[in-house]
Amino acid sequence: MQRDLKDRLYEQFARIGKALANPHRIEILELLAQSDRTVESLASEIGLSLANASQHLKTLRQAALVESRKDGLHVHYRLADPGVFDLCAVIRAVAERRLADFERLVQQHFGERSDLQPVAMRDLLDRAKADDVVILDVRPAREFEAGHIAGAISMPIDDLQARLRLLPTDREYVAYCRGPYCVYADRAVELLHRSRRHARRLFEGFPEWRAAGFPVARGPEASASKITRSSRRAGSPRQRRART
Amino acid sequence: MQRDLKDRLYEQFARIGKALANPHRIEILELLAQSDRTVESLASEIGLSLANASQHLKTLRQAALVESRKDGLHVHYRLADPGVFDLCAVIRAVAERRLADFERLVQQHFGERSDLQPVAMRDLLDRAKADDVVILDVRPAREFEAGHIAGAISMPIDDLQARLRLLPTDREYVAYCRGPYCVYADRAVELLHRSRRHARRLFEGFPEWRAAGFPVARGPEASASKITRSSRRAGSPRQRRART
DNA sequence: AGCATATTCAAGTAATATATTAAATAGTTG
DNA sequence: CAACTATTTAATATATTACTTGAATATGCT
């Protein structure tokens, strides 16, 4: 009964599913959720051959999940719709809740992270409004420029060590990166702790922040030199807020 | 850098994606979003051989999207997590917005539906609170029992014609079914219109209602005989509300 | 024009997925 | 226990997918 119609509708849904049926393609989508990228840039970041990356992108384009724009020699790919990130996010959520293998993997590699008391998005928003915290975007500059948490300062993880002296020691820092399983923010927090600064990471990454509808900004700007010392108690970090 | 970890994480995500890479498996998931079902029941509804249905269910179980429970001769399958319906919903949303083929298909088969002015979930909730409308669940009784919109009356589409006389002519009706592309509610509205009753369909279906957090109920109950005639103007349907 | 670079395309192969058929298992009924 | 039903498993043919390699295309630069 209506079999033909149903088959055709579900065939369309499965086009999306098929595009998500490969680990490298999901990784491509999550990278594109940070910023546009060229084929070569995606291939080298993920460790794919150029031809292979190009083929995956073709698959994704045929499923209408990405779009491309030609710019001279380069072809820039981008997500076709904010809903594409939702796809990744829901897959991740289900994997977290349901896949024992996934949980084990996370436990092995991020088990110690709970000691670092990641900050929730809502809490960060409140503290940012109170100008209570310095938000550090530790992703590559290109991704910061494509979109970042409003008020954040670009401090790519590779430059952080060299630029530490720009960061007053009496402020509190929250670092964020690409997502909950990206280690950039962990490394940043580690570096900041080593230099006796108070720092935590945002639990999520920028795409989750944007998807939640929290304030974002675009473009370069906000050099670290703008960070002022704490106006509250010069020389000593303010009391840590209680978090449960 | 951290390639090995990333590969393993994305491999897990892709397990979910692979499970969604087949039209019949997506259809199985959407059916299970209505109610638990046995293998045989799924196979016959979808038009699959038993062995084939069993294999698809095995795939879904290995991706931890469904669980099974043995009951005598039968094995009942159910969604493993509410997030699994979210997967279907997000895929559908992306298909609707991005796939031209899908849009064309919908236009061809449901193009005339906009004439019927489907009711939005929010509007239905408001009107239900005001006891302004009779909500008819036109899915099979089994699905109604597994969960339905709070206050709805079970009126399976196959019985509707025979039970029409139980429905006062001076009330307004909203019929709903499995989802936006299920035709049961369309047929119900058509039958009700033919018998000069005022009726519209809910745009979405029960799983969307539940996922939105609107009030639901379980179990049999609520026979049609409980429907009272309108207390406002006996004999004539009340004025239609303006909808834009 | 000639060369370099970025990307796509085409062909081939290995691996994986799908559906069919037949056989095996497990539980129920008489 | 035999007959029956629901489900799973196994075996197989076919189709699809993933990655590699090498060639083709397209653009920009000198």
Q: Report the relative pairing of strands A172-176 and A198-201 from DSSP bridges.
A: parallel
Question: What domains lie within chain B, and their CATH numbers?
Answer: 3-84 (1.10.10.10), 113-226 (3.40.250.10)
Chain A contact present for B82, CB below 8 A: no
Q: Which of B2, B4, B11, B12 to mutate to test the interface with A (most CBs of A within 10 A)?
A: B12
Confidence of residue A76 (pLDDT cuts 50, 70, 90): very high
Residues of B annotated as part of the active site:
177
**pLDDT category, A23, cuts 50, 70, 90?**
very high
Residue A193 contacts residue A201 (beta carbons within 8 Å): no
The pLDDT of residue A116 is 82
Q: Please, which residues bridge with residue B240 across strands? A: none
Query: Which residues lie near nucleic chain D, judged by CB under 7 A?
Result: A 18, 21-22, 24-25, 48-49, 51-52, 55-56, 59, 70, 72-73; B 38-41, 50-51, 54-55, 57-58, 68, 73-76
Amino acid at position A76, single letter: H
Q: How far off is chain A from B169, nearest CA to CA, in Å?
A: 30
Tell me the pLDDT of chain A averaged across its residues: 91
- Between residues 136 and 175 of chain B, which touch chain A (CB distance below 8 Å)? none
Q: Nearest residue of B to residue A82 by CA position?
A: B94
Report the alpha-carbon angle A120-A125-A128, nearest 5: 120
**Beta bridge pairs of residue A154:** A137
ipTM: 0.92
Listed as ranges, the nucleotides of chain C within 7 A of a protein C-beta are 5-10, 17-23, 26-28
Q: Do A24 and B10 touch (CB under 8 A)?
A: yes
Distance B87 CA to C24 C1' (A): 35
Q: Which residues of A touch B7 (CB under 8 A)?
A: 23
Distance CA B56, CA B54 (A): 5
- By C-alpha distance, the chain B residue nearest A83 is B94
What is the three-class DSSP state of B117?
coil
What pLDDT, in 10s, does the model give residues B181-206? 999 999 999 999 999 999 999 999 99
Instruction: Kindly list the residues from chain A whose CB atom is less than 8 angstroms away from the CB atom of residue B181.
Output: 9
Cα A131–chain centre separation: 22
- Å between B158 CA and D3 C1'? 35
Angle between helices B39-46 and B50-62 (to 10 degrees): 110
Cβ-contact A175, A182 below 8 angstroms: no
Nucleotide closest in space to B18 (CA vs C1'): C17
pLDDT digits (tens, 9 = 90+) for A124-164: 999 999 988 999 999 999 999 999 999 999 999 999 999 99
What average pLDDT does this structure show over B11-17? 98
- On whether any CB of chain A is under 8 Å from the CB of B78, the answer is no
Are residues B2 and A47, on separate chains, in Cβ contact within 8 Å?
no
Task: Please spell the DSSP secondary structure of A4-49, one letter per residue.
Answer: HHHHHHHHHHHHHHHHTSSHHHHHHHHHHTT--EEHHHHHHHHT--
pLDDT score, position A223: 59
Query: In chain A, at which residue ranges do the beta strands (DSSP E only) sit?
Result: 37-38, 66-71, 74-79, 134-137, 148-149, 153-154, 172-176, 198-201, 216-217
Predicted local confidence at residue A238, as pLDDT: 43
Asked if B237 and B170 touch (Cβ cutoff 8 Å), the reply is: yes
Identify which of B9, B21, B90 has the shortest CB distance to residue A181: B9
- By C1' distance from the Cα of B38, the closest nucleotide is D6
Active site (annotated) includes residue A182: no
Judged against a pLDDT cut of 60, whether residue B153 lies above it is answered with yes
Partner-chain residue, chosen from B23, B65, B81, that has the shortest CB–CB distance to A14: B23
Instruction: Quote the CA–CA distance of A143 and A37 in Å, as a whole number.
Output: 9
**pLDDT of B230 higher than 70:** no
Judged by CB atoms within 8 Å, which residues 169-188 of B form the interface with A?
A: 181, 183
Amino acid at A234: A
Chain D footprint positions (protein CB, under 7 Å): 5-10, 17-23, 26-28
Across the interface, whether the CB atoms of A3 and B86 are under 8 A apart is answered: no
Confidence grade of residue B112 (pLDDT, cut at 50, 70, 90): confident
Q: Which residues fall within 8 angstroms of residue A237, CB to CB, at 6 or more apart?
A: A169, A170, A171, A172, A197, A198, A230
CA distances from B149 to A106, A112, B185 (A): 38, 44, 14
Q: pLDDT at position A227, please?
A: 73
